[in-house]
Chain A
Amino acid sequence: MNAIDVSRRKFLVGAGAAAGGLTLGMSIPFDEAVAQTGATPEVNAWVVIRPDDTVVVRIARQEMGQGTITGLAQLVAEELEADWAKVTYEYPTPGQSVARKRVWGDYATSGSRGVRNSEKYMREGGAAARMMLMQAAADQWKVPVAELTVARGVITHKASNRTTTYGKVSDAAGKLVPPANPALKDPKNWTIAGKPLKRLAQDGKVNGKQIYAMDYVAPNMLNAAIKDCPIWGGKLKSFDASAAEKMPGVKKVLRIDGNAVVVVADTFWRAKTALDAVKIEYDAGESAKLNSKSIEAMLDEGLTAKEAFVGNQGGDVQKAIAGAAKVVEATYRFPYQNHAPMEPMNATALWTPERCDVWTSTQNGEAALATTSQAAGLPLDKCDVHRLDLGGGFGRRATSQDYVRQAVLIAKEMPGTPVKLIWTREEDQLRGCYHPITKCKMTGALDKDGNLVGLHMRLSGQSILATIRPEGLQNGRDPAAFQGLNNGGTEGAIGYTIPNILVDHAMRNTAIRPGFWRGVNNNQNAVYLECFMDELAHAAGVDPLEFRRRMMKDHPKHLAVLNAVAERGGWSKPAPKGVFRGLAQHMGYGSYVAAMAEVSINESGTLKIHRIVAATNCGHAVNPAQIERQIEGSFAYGLGAALMQEITFDGGKAVETNFDTYPMVRMADMPAVESIIAPTNDFWGGVGEPTIFVAAPAVLNAIFAATGKRVRNLPIADQDLRKA
């Protein structure tokens, strides 16, 4: 089994770090082990086998639509030699995990880590369980275990012609000592993992029966609506609830955490209606002057500021620029975005002086548990968080458990009564954890042969870590700001060899709360780098694919996916009439991705994205069918941002408060997507996020090919795309 350090009495909660490997967040103390969970005895922490041979795989990572539970169950079932048709899953609660010395490891599901950071210990859990089940059968038959074979949950002793099933020996297996370091299968021999299997638990999603946190109902439950201070950096000054208190169904009007006004009523609708009748005054303070214009001015100053944190440096870029045959410059901008998962934030809490329970959808059960304990004023072992299905996460439910905290604080005011807090869509837009705004000044130095000999990338903008996980900063520097631009490393290495390079970041923070938004800083970094590569190629008079290839000899994995899309997309052949192409490649969360977009633009400047050919090398492809769906989904998400979305601010407050002003990609906007899954089977990379990086730059480069216009300012909808 995985070596879990049981001697430590504290562990860190990985609360959704941007780059994997950053374990940040709260420290939770725990007490010594408590007994097993569940009624059926387990074989080990990962595997329970019921008498009817049903295999229950325990999963701590969250399913929010990305297919993680299916992938992880496949990996465990593979090592277990289980019958896939009999596999199901359950989620141990974070409280149970704490009670068992954190046996299920990290609950955080962000940074595309659901599979890649748990595959080893989960596969080992499956392999150990298989060995214990076979040993139990061997003991029963009094034969050496080496004489047994197993397939699809059936153990056979050929010599004596006997068979038994996992369900029959699981009790005895659970009593055995787990083997140390079970050997894992060579992925070449996988029969369950690596296959394009259908997702588990889909039925309830087509017949309305699946229960999301939003749908949870407890006996005698009350409902709450909330308005937290919508002005970032502002304060709640006063409120008048006299009218609201008299409205039907209202039980209580509260102020929690200083800045939030809450109405508790019998139904949500009545709570919300009454809340709208509360007169609230805010004190904007300094944030009165915080608006999109002031932020822009601050970022512009950062673009040329003397001081900046260095992310990647090699050679002497200033010298290269001074001696260049041609210098190319451009400034780009990537605006604030909101996650806007379909299910708005919500949580149900029940507080008594002895105990607090929460039912919610979160991307990080442990962070939600720590939040609950803190807000409830109760020790961890008196709290638990019960997971319900997530109507999307995209990083929002990883960045902050603010809605959990609020629900607990409200429930604390109503001891013994469960209260469900529901955010309106407007609250979700106003109290987001926004993808931060940045700008970037690109300076490229070309030699007389059109080679890129120097590149300076000056990022200017908000750091996520500085606000959300300041303990992740390195002497003030935000390492995640350089995602995809690093000189090597497994998380986000630049794919080009450039003799003189400087990537630096002028950190310019605001009172606006940033967050980890699907793809995180790779989104803008890929736009900046890949669009500028296209600019440089044109300036050098070289085909954009060829221009890149010249610098990619030492980056074979980056190059392979780029070549794959160029080949499948027909880059070297003429495009259909009126259709134009753009390319992009990037690396992040361990995976290598590339895309080729095909667009057309009509006389009046209307953009149509016809097709995107996308390639990913995620190392091991645990479920190619689900990976394809993640690729498509990531393009819908990334193109929404590139095409039409921006959160602007006025007086410290988000202006776009619903889908009428913060539009979403819909069916008609969605291009055809052709996926190339090209795993090299020598590493474990992420899947949920990486392809999003290349969506926008590939389209932007195709727009240039179509119009001769560079869109350097997003969203595209704000730009005039009529031919230059």
Chain B
Amino acid sequence: MAKLNVNGRVVDVNVEPDTPLLWVIREQIGLTGTKYGCGVAQCGACSIYIDGEITRSCAMPVSSIKESQKIVTIEGANDRVVQAVQKAWLEHDVPQCGYCQSGQVLAAAALIRAKKNPTDEDIDREMTNICRCGTYNRIRIAIKQAASAVQAG
């Protein structure tokens, strides 16, 4: 039994303590925007925010999360920065299959929060999520646009 604060709601989940947070979110809480890609913290498809920090949920046992920690998934992420990223993503028609994009959107928003005007080097360093469809170049353009949109307020 664990209590989790997900997207502003406190939920009780009944799982083994070593269950990865990813599967708790998908199977117990029923939020499927957070994806399974590798299960070993390599791909970033399972990215979420924990207290605002971008985190790969597949390699994080639910027992390591305290009730006081705020978990935000793609379904609950709707601050200005995330919205600017989503808007830029649609304007540049970024997604192909889209399976990785929940994670990409959250990672991009985290980058823009940390660096107001991310350089190419920042983007190379921080955007490490895998996109098998190869949307990287569009992601790069969209990040820059979203960052300036956030700046412009």
Contacts and interface: CB of A to CB of B under 8 A. Distances in A.
Interface string B29-41: 0111111111110
Contact of B35 (A343, A637, A658): A343
Contact of B99 (A206, A223, A342, A634): A342
Size band of the interface chain A makes with B: 35 or more
B4 interface: no
B45 interface: yes
A362 to B, nearest CB: 13
Contacts of A344: 36-37
A424 B39 contact: yes
Nearest to A203: B90
Interface in B24-59: 26-28, 30-40, 42-43, 45
Contacts of B26: 215
Given A342-B130, A668-B125, A391 B137 contact: no
Interface in A403-424: 422, 424
A208 B98 CA distance: 9
Contact of A340 (B33, B98, B132): B132
B42 A392 contact: no
Interface stretch (A461-469, A538-546, A625-633, A678-686): A625-633
Contacts of B67: none
A636 B130 CA distance: 11
Contacts of A202: 89-90, 93, 95, 98
Size band of the interface chain B makes with A: 35 or more
Contacts of A268: 23, 27
Interface stretch (A19-27, A502-510, A659-667): A659-667
Nearest to B130: A664
B96 to A, nearest CB: 3
A211 to B, nearest CB: 7
Contact of B31 (A205, A208, A210, A269): A208
Contact of A659 (B38, B123, B131): B38
A673 interface: yes
Contact of B128 (A203, A391, A392, A666): A666
A391 B93 contact: no
Contact of B23 (A209, A267, A633, A667): A267
A65 B101 CA distance: 12
Contacts of B139: 667
Nearest to A342: B99
A388 to B, nearest CB: 11
Interface centre among A211, A394, A634, A658 (most CB of B within 10 A): A658
A198 interface: yes
A66 interface: yes
B12 interface: no
Contact of A248 (B16, B38, B40): B16
B134 A637 contact: yes
Given A206-B105, A340-B132, A425 B37 contact: yes
Interface centre among A67, A198, A341, A659 (most CB of B within 10 A): A659
Given A206-B86, A267-B27, A342-B132, A389 B33 contact: no
Contacts of A659: 38, 40, 42-43, 130
B136 A629 contact: no
B133 interface: yes
Given A65-B98, A267-B23, A342 B105 contact: no
Contacts of B105: 206
Contact of A65 (B86, B90, B133, B138): B133
A217 interface: yes
B38 to A, nearest CB: 5
A212 interface: yes
A655 interface: no
B93 A198 contact: yes
Contact of A210 (B20, B73, B98): B98
A638 to B, nearest CB: 9
A243 interface: no
A498 interface: no
Contacts of A341: 97, 99, 132
Interface in A609-655: 625-626, 629, 632-637
Contacts of A198: 90, 93
A425 B39 contact: yes
B120 to A, nearest CB: 9
B74 interface: yes
Contacts of B123: 667
Contacts of B34: 208
Contacts of B86: 206-207
B42 A632 contact: no
B117 interface: no
B132 A394 contact: yes
B78 to A, nearest CB: 9
Interface in B76-128: 85-86, 89-90, 93-102, 105, 123-125, 127-128
Interface string B137-148: 111100000000
Contacts of B90: 198, 202-203, 206
B30 A392 contact: no
Contacts of B95: 65, 199, 202, 205-206
B98 A204 contact: yes
Contacts of A455: none
B5 interface: no
Given A206-B89, A666-B128, A668-B124, A658 B42 contact: yes
Contact of B96 (A65, A206, A273, A635): A65
Contacts of A217: 30, 32
Interface centre among B20, B39, B134 (most CB of A within 10 A): B134
A663 to B, nearest CB: 8
Nearest to B104: A206
Interface string A53-68: 0000000000011110
Interface in A205-239: 205-212, 214-215, 217, 223
B56 to A, nearest CB: 12
Contact of B134 (A269, A625, A636): A636
B69 interface: no
Interface of B: 15-16, 19-20, 23, 26-28, 30-40, 42-43, 45, 73-75, 85-86, 89-90, 93-102, 105, 123-125, 127-140
Interface of A: 64-67, 198-199, 202-212, 214-215, 217, 223, 248, 267-270, 273, 340-344, 389-394, 422, 424-425, 625-626, 629, 632-637, 658-660, 664-668, 670, 672-673
Given A626-B93, A665-B134, 6 more contacts: A202-B93, A208-B73, A269-B19, A342-B131, A632-B137, A636-B136
Please provide the 5 A-B residue pairs with the shortest distance between their CB atoms, ordered closest to farther.
A208-B33, A636-B134, A205-B98, A391-B99, A65-B97
27 contacts: A64-B97, A199-B93, A202-B89, A208-B74, A217-B30, A217-B32, A268-B27, A341-B99, A341-B132, A342-B45, A343-B99, A391-B98, A391-B100, A392-B99, A392-B132, A392-B133, A425-B40, A629-B93, A629-B138, A632-B134, A633-B134, A658-B39, A658-B40, A660-B42, A666-B128, A666-B129, A668-B125
